[in-house]
Amino acid sequence: MVNKLIGIAFIAVGVALAVWGYNIYDSATSQISRAFSGDTPLEAWAGMVGGGVFVLLGIVKLK
């Protein structure tokens, strides 16, 4: 039972991180930066990749 709750919490945190990372990636400042230099903010990648990792860990905990 505890593992399932931890898994659900990991999934929730992962989704929140992924959404936060995507919001940074899709922000106006980031779009302008990508247009001129091609650089993506590190926070955006960290949020999206970290969110994916947390979701995967949550799915593993649910099994």
Tokens of 43: 């926070």
User: What is the structure's pLDDT at 15?
Assistant: 97
Q: What is the pLDDT of residues 29-60, one digit of tens each?
A: 888 888 888 888 889 999 999 999 999 999 99
Q: Mean of the pLDDT values across residues 5-12?
A: 96
Q: Hey, which bits of the chain come out as E strands?
A: none
Kindly report the CA angle at 62 between 1 and 55, in degrees rounded to 5?
A: 130
CA distance 51 to 53: 5
Domain map of the chain by residue range?
2-62
Using only C-alpha atoms, the chain has a radius of gyration, in whole angstroms, of 14
Q: Which pLDDT belongs to residue 63?
A: 84
**Is the pLDDT higher at 15 or at 33?**
15
Quickly tell me which residue has 């990991």 as its tokens: 10
On whether the CB atoms of residues 48 and 25 are closer than 8 A, the answer is yes
pTM for this entry: 0.85
63 versus 53: which is more confidently predicted? 53
